[in-house]
Amino acid sequence: MHEILFIVLSYLLGSIPVGFIVFYMTEKKDIRREGSGNIGATNVFRCGGKVAGLSTLILDILKGFLPVIYGLSHFDYPVMGVLGGAVVITGHIFPLFLKFKGGKGVATFAGVLLAYSIPAFLIFFMVFILTVIATKYISAGSMLGVISSFFFFLFSQIVEIAMIIFVVTVFIIIRHKTNLKKIFSNTENKLGFGKNG
């Protein structure tokens, strides 16, 4: 029962639409009708400014961080902690409270990495930063960062954990399919933050 309750609560935590709530509180608007229509930190940055964007980013990271820390400290096997993190990401991407249409899960994924494996987080962060610097595409940095951290898990962790991270990676890449099309057609938004930016 403890494991089942943990999974259910992790999904519900992931389903909390932080970007939607923060943007509505600061702008009194629906973030889904602004910019790219995504509820994630990047769109909130662009449409609501630095404070709203940073607040969304930090809270989305915490969503991924907290269940993993809890799982690692309350269960005897690390797979359960990582599974809780994966379920949080799933809740963020398919939130119950927004009719299963949520964000892309990257910040929450970073929170999971930060809680479970600092080396994996650093690999994700370095690849993300270098890719964004090279391409000016946050979406490209996000995807390559997630993929690089999967390969870290593939060669350094037990099979079950690598499989969980693989499934999450696939979900995140699928959520970026529109970004991929825009990158290849050279219509993707490049780096730039701030209101009306």
Neighbours of 10 (CB within 10 A): 26
pLDDT value of position 191: 77
**What is the CB-side half-sphere exposure of residue 115 using CA atoms within 13 A?**
26
In a domain, 195, yes or no: no
**Secondary structure of residue 136 in the 3-state scheme:** coil
The residue that leads in pLDDT, 125 or 78, is 125
* Structure confidence by residue, pLDDT tens digits, 22-41: 999 999 999 999 998 999 99
User: Model-level pTM?
Assistant: 0.92
In a domain, 194, yes or no: no
Q: How far apart are CA 111 and CA 58, in angstroms?
A: 9
Residue among 132, 94, 127, 133 nearest 110 (CA): 127
For residue 192, is it within any domain? Answer: no
The model's pLDDT over 111-145, given as tens digits with 9 standing for 90+, comes to: 999 999 999 999 999 999 999 999 999 999 999 99
Contact 27, 73 (CB under 8 A): no
- In whole angstroms, give the CA distance from residue 57 to residue 41: 5
- Give helix 50-74 / helix 78-93 axis angle, nearest 10°: 150
pLDDT surpassing 70 at residue 185: yes
Total domains in the chain come to: 1
Burial class of 103 by CB neighbour count within 10 A (0 to 12, 13 to 18, 19+): buried
CA atoms in the 13 A half-sphere facing the CB of 178: 7
The span from the CA of 118 to the CA of 2, in Å, is 27
Residue 40 lies in a domain: yes
- CA–CA separation, 28 vs 179, rounded Å? 27
Cα separation, 184 vs 195, in Å, equals 26
Q: Which domain holds residue 125?
A: 2-184
Would you say residue 115 lies in a domain? yes
* 189 found inside a domain: no
* 43 part of a folded domain: yes
Q: Sorting pLDDT into bands at 50, 70 and 90, what band is 192? A: low
**107 belongs to a structural domain:** yes
pLDDT beyond 60 at 197:
no
pLDDT at position 72: 95
Q: Label residues 63-76 b or e (16+ Cβ within 10 Å = b).
A: bbbbbbbbbbeebe
